[in-house]
Amino acid sequence: KPRNITSYLMLQMSSSWFRVALPLCFAVLSVALTITMPPPLPAVIGVCSVAGMALILKIKVENRTLSSLLSQHVAVKVVGWLGRRQRRKLEADTLKVKEIQQETLLKRLRKNADTYYGRQYDFSSIKDIKEFQACHPITTYTHYQDLINRIAAGEEKLIIAEKPLILAMTSGTSGSSAMLLSTKDTNTEFFLQGVTVCLDAMQKAFPETKSLQRTTKFFYAPTFRQSEARIPIGPNSSTPASSRHILNLYTTPAPAFEVPSEKDTLYLHLLFALKDPNVGTLESNFASTVFYAFSALQERWQELVEDIERGNISTALSLEPKVRAKLEALMKPDPQRAAQLRAHFQDGFRGIAKRLWPHLNLVLAVDSGSNQIYGEMLRESYCKGVPFYSPFYAATEGLIGVNLWPQESERRYLLCPRSMFCEFLPESSLDEEAPHTLLMEEVKEGENYELLVTNASGLYRYRIGDIVKVVGFHNQCPIVEFQYRRGQMLNVRGEKVSEALFLSALKKAVAQWPGAQLVDYCCAESGILGDTIGGSDPHYQVFLELKGVRRLTEEQRHKLDISLQQDSAVYKSFRIKGSIGPMRVQLVAEGAFNKLRKQMMAYSSTSPNTFKMQRVLRRKEYAEFLLGKTIS
């Protein structure tokens, strides 16, 4: 659920206020220098200071223009100042959470009081939280679906006062994709309360990230379609188009983002990253994207090295002639770099990131929740020795929390009291018809809750389906860890095995299989497969992709079942009674999950930027696809 740091930085930098702010910074600097110095000196000092910074930081700046270096330096300074300012505001808010939450709620209600929906629930007369809870029900997506469809068709002022920027599609991790509204307020809050605060935390924890090194960001141009009212429909994340003003901060050149194929764009990401030995950060929304990038690198490194050696771009890429010409104009034969790269690859891929880029400071990507296993694999193999930072807890609905502790191994997020009005449904009450919710100041440490949010884009007391655990407080504000999605629970007899619980048992079992390393996994309840697999007792069908193992014995498979029984008393009781049959563990071929990922994205129209692997499959065709890839 959380997103990468520059997703909304990019959106904001392309907005009108940032387009004014950056030139203004340059203008003030220019005027100050011009007034106080003879004409030649300002230019000389500008060049010398930026060049000096590069020398002090021991960073080469080949292929970087003075303007790109200066714009990066100014951007870091401006956002750093904003980050310190917003962090002070956040600290003050955590001392009076109840007051700030009520203020946030009433602000939302006042803004949308004159809409069809606001009049229906009499928003203008609500004076406090209790009145709001008394008159407005707890909601799910079906409550809004018809209204959102009418907005897509062109009706205005139904749920929100303004026209939405986009109709944002959720990733559909725990069911069908939902179409939600995204507004300017949502983006502004994400930038100010999320991006700037996390950049401040990141720069304090990893001071090297303030340097003039470029970032390799693995992101792709998503496909948008238009509603009847010409409102864009697509993912609510940063795109190369929305980031066009700061693409010079990244190693991938702008023409590469005109390539429609994800596979070809990834090749270009890797090619231009390998050309630059001084990459400072690897970034993506999710750790899975970084992992798949390194998997592609391991498969195609020889082709990439040859391109760098010869100064061209592989003919295997399907590029339009104009795009190819622009990209090849940026290539020059570099046999010296190619020889370095070839030697590094021949030494193996464990710790390869730090050898390819000796000044690499950070991997910036979400590695919690369903991305946990990808983060662990990266840390153990490709990115060994490189710190990771998972900055946000967020969703299509907006910013939920920020990680103020970048160097801690546990991914904890401080809830942002001004971003959303939050309510908490105790885990024991999830299935009640009229459950009682708690507020931020009422939750207890150590307890699990489902989050309900009232956001800036027309959702009220909305169940987002995330279960979080309160692990502490920062002043009065809860700190949470993401646990699981409600729709991603295994439940064939009422046992309710969560994603976190199953993964914990799986990791214990894999540790007992000599030479095995977990690459990916998912499960299916036997009911969705019907007669395909035979047997009458309901059970879990488990699909595993492993490294180092080509076959599992019956004894090894049984260890997974035993491991889950040890972790779940309810599951164990059903197994002892025979109400649930033994797990059926399928070992699938190498690359099966990457192929499943592509199939899932094609079906749901999900962007590679926002895709998350489903851990519990709800579609029969996905489970049958993996059955067809079974090798043991």
CA distance 258 to 340: 30
User: 448-454 and 421-426 as β-strands: parallel, antiparallel, unpaired?
Assistant: antiparallel
Burial string for 154-181 (b: 16+ CB within 10 Å, else e) reads eeebbbbbeebbbbbbbbbbbeebbbbb
CA distance 450 to 423: 8
What letter would DSSP give residue 186? H
Per the document, the length of the chain is: 632
CB 159 within 8 A of CB 171: no
pLDDT single digits (tens) 485-504: 988 889 999 899 998 899 99
CA distance 424 to 577: 35
In this predicted structure, the answer to whether residue 613 has a pLDDT above a threshold of 80 is yes
pLDDT single digits (tens) 523-555: 999 998 876 566 568 999 999 999 999 899 999
Task: Note the pTM of the prediction, 2 decimals.
Answer: 0.85
By percentage, how much of the chain surpasses pLDDT 90?
70
CB 615 within 8 A of CB 523: yes
**Helix count (H) and strand count (E) of the chain?**
21, 19
Does the CA dihedral 83-88-91-93 come out positive or negative?
negative
pLDDT single digits (tens) 308-360: 999 999 999 999 999 999 999 999 999 999 999 999 999 999 999 999 999 99
pLDDT single digits (tens) 204-249: 999 998 888 999 999 888 778 899 999 999 887 766 655 666 677 8
What letter would DSSP give residue 532? G
**39 versus 172: which is more confidently predicted?**
172
What letter would DSSP give residue 456? T
Can you give the C-alpha Rg of the chain in angstroms?
A: 26
Which pLDDT does position 464 carry in this prediction? 95
CA distance 585 to 540: 8
35 torsion bin: left (phi>0), alpha (psi -120 to 50), beta (else): alpha
Helix/strand/coil (H/E/C) assignment for every residue in 247-258: HHHECCCHHHHH
Which residue type, as a one-letter code, is found at position 471? V
Average pLDDT score over residue span 380-387 = 96
CB 5 within 8 A of CB 197: no
In this predicted structure, the answer to whether residue 58 has a pLDDT above a threshold of 90 is no
Does the CA dihedral 470-472-477-481 come out positive or negative?
negative
Which residues have C-beta within 8 Å of that of residue 551, sequence separation ≥ 6? Answer: 587, 631, 632
Which pLDDT does position 51 carry in this prediction? 44
Please tell me the least confidently modeled range out of 94-103, 338-347, 616-625.
616-625
Which pLDDT does position 244 carry in this prediction? 62
- First-residue to last-residue Cα distance in the chain: 33
Does the CA dihedral 106-110-111-115 come out positive or negative?
positive
CA distance 18 to 519: 42
In this predicted structure, the answer to whether residue 296 has a pLDDT above a threshold of 90 is yes
Which residue type, as a one-letter code, is found at position 55? L
Which pLDDT does position 267 carry in this prediction? 97
pLDDT single digits (tens) 142-154: 999 999 999 999 9
Which pLDDT does position 478 carry in this prediction? 98
Residue where the block lists tokens 């951007």: 75
